[in-house]
Structure formats: structure tokens, C-alpha cells
Structure 1
């Protein structure tokens, strides 16, 4: 059973014994996040994603290789990367441990990360995986929702010009409209019926007595 505590972990491919090294404040939650992205074919590590797609989920196992305090995660992760990176058994793209928990790097670590990333070519496949991962993230959804709210508020009280209406009409000309659902049809029918009743009432009110 995977513990909900901090430590160093590896995701091992049982088919060829290659593995991915990482660190996490919450091991159980981190494994959940990895599997979620891998199952959606949207993992940020395209080497690991490709192997997952090729061998299948059942060929991979998640295991904690060392429990350690939160403050020492990066230091201990770097120790394992230094030990295995040159052996060509890792899926890790970067030989330098990077924090994703808001931890600050010292100048020496920053220099190592900068050196490791220089000259690195990001493939179109990797860019696509990063893009898919971002658009499916909660942060992206939150930003989109905030943008929609701002756009909606900015339009309050504004009337479209005749020119804008004509442009919209032309843009929608010839486009196939999606068929209404039964629920939508029912609401439209009720709205029309209510309008008709209101008009009848108004007619009775303003009609001159015979």
C-alpha cells in the first residue's frame, strides 16, 4: 500500500526494468496524478508516456525507494539521479532534480538546471503532451472560467450595433445548427406558450369595451 507521506519514488517498467525517479510531499497523491496523465496520454514525460502506451499499465509499478523529510526531497532525489542517469535506465528527461512544491533552489542548483536545459530540443510530440496536460489542468479551467465571467460582465448594458449583428448573421449563414435536446425543446415550447398567454392578457386589458 502506498503511503500518504513524503519520499523518493520510482515508476518502474517491469518489461525492461527502466524507471522514472521522482520526489513527492505526498506519495499516494503523486502516483494518482501520474496515472491520471498517463491514462489520458497527456503525461509531461514523453519517454514514460511512450513506454506506457507500448507496454500497458499492468507493466508498471510505483514504489517508494526512500522515505525522507520534505526539506530533503530534492537533495535525496538528486542523489538517485546522479547514481542512475549515466546508466541509461531512466525515463527522466532532466538529470537535475527540480522542485514542484514551491521550494527555492540555491545558486548551485539553479546553475545545474540551467546547464542541463541548454540546447535541449523539445519535440512537437512533447509540446503537444504539455499543451494537453495544461488544458486539462484545474488551473487552466479556473482561468478560462474567470475569463468567461470577465467577458460576460464587460458586455452588461452594451448593445450590439447593426453592423455587428449583420456580421454575425453572415458568419452563421449556412452553418448547420445542432439539434435541440428534448429538454431544450420543452423549454422553448413553454417560453412561447407563456409569451402567447401574456399577449392574450394584454389584449384583454387594452381592448375597448364593445
Structure 2
């Protein structure tokens, strides 16, 4: 039997968004009901009461993997829930959707349910934890899903962190990023402020510096008006060019990048 309700939590009793008493006979409903949905789910072994809490931004895809015998067979060495599904069979498990939620809050909500339910089948008791754990195919898939759905701002921050840098955003960039995060359109006041910033930029352009690129194999030297132009000339991006410029490393083991003396 399937139960559909709003979610709330009272002590140790959860009122779930959807519940399937028999994961074997209700396979079709499980898959059809959860297409294009993100959320937190819970497997429960009906005899022992042991649980597993997981999450996915694509529940249909995740459940298709659980119903793929080859997939869960590959994961048995590092996944207790996959091992249990193979041992007891789907008919011995109840599947619940604890909460449908926005993909951006997946990890936070998963941690909430792990803390609340203390699931025995979870090897990790920290959602998304990387410590002392060899990733199962399920974990790798979850990380891939999250990576594909990162916002442009998150991607930029990760790129900066990877380069060991934190750039001070301009006031214009801060405004655009803030509005993008909040999912709102620019107000008339904000538009006026951005227009003023643009006009001041034209009147008072920011001075850049020219770039010199030397091919250490051929000795050829090329000059560019900016880091961005150098990136285009080398079929790369400005972040990579800046990294090699600041660290004095050869780009692609061949090109020496330096500031051009005026």
C-alpha cells in the first residue's frame, strides 16, 4: 500500500511523503511515482527493522540502479544495503520517501534523517562524508549528480579553491551573484546601480597588463593584451593561464607565461 502525505516529524515517528510496503510487488509504482523528483529515501528490512537512509536528485534513476542486479552485486563489498537486498530479496523491504526536497538541500536533509533514524545499514553516519570510506557505485553516482547540478557561483568558488586563490569580486559581480542565488530579477534600483558602474567603467577603465608567452621548445615568443586573450590563444581559460603565471610553472609543460615589460 502506498501512502502520500505532507512530511512532518514527531519524536521518533515520521509521517513520510510516500510509502511502499513491498518493494518487490510495488516496483512499478516506485519507479513511476518518482520520475523527475529529488528527495530522501529509506529502505527498511521488515523483519529486523534495520534501515538505510539515502538521497538522490533523481530518485527514478537511483531506484533503477537498486533494481539492477548487476549494479548491486558490484556494490556488495562496500554497501550493506545492497548486500541485504541480495540476501533477503526486495519483498522483505519497505521503501519510504521521507521527503521530496530541492536538490540544493539534499545533503543537509539526508543528514537530518541519518541523525534522527540512526540507520543500521548506513556505513557512514555523515551525509556526503569522505573519511575512511571507499565509495560505492551509489556514492559515486550521487557525487556525479551533485556536480552536474552545481550553480555557476559554486563552480567558480571551487575553481578558485583548486587554484589556491580567492578573488575579490567587484561590486557589480556581487550584485549579480546575490540576485542569481536568490533567484530574483534586478529591481529598478539595482539596474540603475549597475548602469552607473558600467558608465564609470567606461570613463575610468581598469588598467590591465600584457602577457608574454614563450614556447620553450621552439623559442617563439607571442604577446597578448590580457590573460583572457592569452587563454584564447592557447585554447585554454584565463584561470589556468593565471595559475601558471603566478606559480612560474610551464603551461602544458611547454609554455612559459610572464608579464610583458612595457
Q: TM-score, normalised by structure 1?
A: 0.43
Task: Choose between structure 1 and 2: higher strand proportion.
Answer: 2
Larger radius of gyration: 1
**Larger helix proportion, structure 1 or 2?**
1
Higher relative contact order (CA 8 A, sep 6+): 1
Q: TM-score, normalised by structure 2?
A: 0.35
